[in-house]
Structure 1
Amino acid sequence: MDGQLIAFTGIAAGMVTLPGADFAVVVRNALDSRRAGVATAVGVAGGLLVHTALAVAGLAAVLVAVPALFGAVQLLGGVYLLYLGAGALLAAVRRTGAHADSPTGPAAAPADGPAALLGTARSLRQGFLTNALNPKAPVLFLSLLPQFVPAGAPALPRTLLLATMVVAMALVWFPAVALLVDRLGNWLRRPRVTRALEATTGALLTALGGILLVELVPA
């Protein structure tokens, strides 16, 4: 039994399922439709694939070693989270008083066509950028993956395995979150509940983006 692999599985599962910006944006988009939520979830997994691939290739070390490059990624990530957060908060404000507080029923599935494809692509992009522009992820994977490579074992196959495990967990967890939100749609899409979720996710994304930007300010 590979004890290190078991330990990594637990740590990776905790990392993936810990609520944060990825979780918030998946929930936010899943409120619109199942397709949007699942597309966002796949985008998040794509962002994780980028981070783990960079760590395996050693390119994450370059990002960490070059403060200007790291700062640029952090700036972009902070601004993007603020953008998403502001959009969610604005949506919550627009919903206030717009509808009576009564069940709206399940969201209609978007029709197939150019508009639906554009909406899916937008959700996929939002999920990808939310994760890919997280500047803390390269540091985390760069420091974490080598700790679970047994002494004397080839590093590349092992880190590839660990990276694949992380992405696979994301491909299970985040679509499951999106499907759960959609499953609870009759309740979650009540105007009052939707406003609360929009406001909560918006506040979370805005706070996370603000933290990233504040960290850029010299002490």
Structure 2
Amino acid sequence: MTELLALQSIKKSVREPDGSVRRLFEGLDFTMSSDERAVALLGRSGSGKTTLLRVVAGLDARYDGSYVFQCVLQPKRLDPLADHRRMHIGLISQSYDLLDDFSVEQNVRLGARGLRDSKARTVEALGLVGLDRMSKKRVTRLSGGEAQRVAIARAIVKRPALILADEPTGALDEDTEGEILDLFTSLQANGMSFIIATHSSRVAAACDRRVTLVDRRLAGCAREF
């Protein structure tokens, strides 16, 4: 069993709107093995869930400590994404972050930039999320669940090892949440792993393991086999 990622002794502070500095993480440790399919990241609002996902994604390098991903010690670089993580980690947000004047296919293809077979990868990703017949549709004409599927397709188009999902069902109704969870399960069966920041007990229950940000560290139950 190999490690997919390992965070060790992560420390990070943030500046509040009033100018004060608050310590967000203090000696935070986290490991995830390559055979784990889904970990739920829990915690109250403001505890740092989104910030932690940004650190893992390579979007925030302003921290102390070490981060190893796929056996590679990750550099603290100022560019938006370290090369290794850009190729092997996908991101899903609650707000979808789609371009309204683009079609479904065009939005997904944005995630395939730099790939020689971007067209084929886009078709593959749309098929995996069940939107292959909507490729030419404008995203402004989609339902919330369909828009989230487009965001998921864009995140998986490079066939990443890890998907980071930040409240992926927070804006969806119960039935649509169930559909997205079923989609996540099918993607996990294809070998993708997930870290899902969520307030949903239903989403958390669907994960193999749950960890909680509390007192600037992660606490969580052991893996379930």
- Taking structure 2 as the reference length, the TM-score comes to 0.25
Bigger share in strand: 2
- Taking structure 1 as the reference length, the TM-score comes to 0.25
Bigger share in helix: 1
